[in-house]
Structure 1
Amino acid sequence: GSRNATPQGLDNARAFARALSDAGLTIISGLALGIDAAAHEGALDGSGATLAVVGTGLDRVYPARHRELAHTLAARGGLLSEFPPGTPARASNFPRRNRLISGLARGVLVVEAALSSGSLITARYAGEQGREVFAIPGSIHSPLARGCHKLIREGAKLVETAQDVLAELGLADRAAPLVQTTAVREEGPHAALLGALAADPADLDCLAARTGLSTQALCANLMALELDGKVVALPGGRWQRRP
């Protein structure tokens, strides 16, 4: 999924990875920023293993900020590379390594992706390799949902829960203890507003259209959320959810 994921996308990646890890599946991803790292973290929170297929030599960690995560992964699964030691991060390496991610997997789950996302390359490889392709739908207002919606239109399985994934893989019997695991949704009095801000910054008119709330109600809720540190006001009258 996306390197520049929304907070909800990161939460979904962690929740699905944790649940699928607890069901005994190994979570495979690419150690990149955003959804990749969240998936590894979710798997580490679960009881299973996780594998990172990297686009550098094994003596390099990219991005460098994931050095500690890579060290943890080595103990709870492993790191895999087709590139010799000393190979730096090159843009051409990452689409190439994506075929290994899909090839090693029983299925590919795209959590959040723009139309230009490299995860669509992984999904294409998965289809060519006879693997299952799953996608989590998102807001019609979010550019980071358009890649997932494109995949669904082209035949990817729409999934809303980890149980959906397990059922498609013929592993529904492993889903029994995971009844409460779903794509993360906001709860509480500000749920609709936080959900509307999950995709991108928005002004009052846009938020009113997304939530159905009046301008007065929006202003009151946004002020409360700002005081709680959950949103931030931007120039131009726009608001953004804090990561």
Structure 2
Amino acid sequence: MQDKIRQLQAVNPQLQIRPITDPVYLRYGQVLADYDTREIVARAQALVPPTDAVVYEPAVPALEVYAEINERIEKEVFGGMPVQVGWCYGRNLRMAGLEYHKGSEVNVALTDMILLLGSELDIVRGETISYPTRLAEAFFVPAGMAFEMAPWCLHYAPLQTTRDGSFATLVYLPRGTNYPLPYTVKPQGENRLLYAVNKWLLIHPDQTEEVAKGAYPGLDGDDIVLVPLA
């Protein structure tokens, strides 16, 4: 893992890339080191389809079939709350946006990947709402790693680490999260960020298609783009 981080760091001097096991990650969540991910990773890796886009599916029936790790995550991390098991996969090299939920998220990495993370506490709230992209931090996650992102952790789609590769991760969330909102709210205060069920989103202004769909252009500063390994 350290060799790959050093290689990525060498071609991305603008970023400080830390392993997710670095104590700094405790600002955002925790590594779930005692969870055996082998069975669920093998199951998912055999199913994940190739794509050049970024795909997110909140719940995938084949992933929700009983697995010991699924039961443990639901009972131990989420305290018995109903949990959905989905995935995010594809090709991506930029931050593009940051979101948060009112509850934790657990991921199990199916590939090596980079996370770009921030803290909800650093969101500037006033007449406008913004998050300075310069505050985001980068973490390397090896395939097979399970980890929790706390409710205040700003995150979005992971980044692939190689030019011709892709990323994939399992996503555990409270059931119903990220589905379309069945109602509308007044566009004021934090409501302006509410983009889906239990999903508050700040998008980079350059993501014009997402802005046109109603995403709030709240990322302030340059978008972060990763240079992948050859």
TM-score (norm 1): 0.23
Query: Which structure carries more helix by proportion?
Result: 1
Q: Which has the higher contact order (CA 8 A, sep 6+)?
A: 2
TM-score (norm 2): 0.24
Structure of higher CA gyration radius: 1
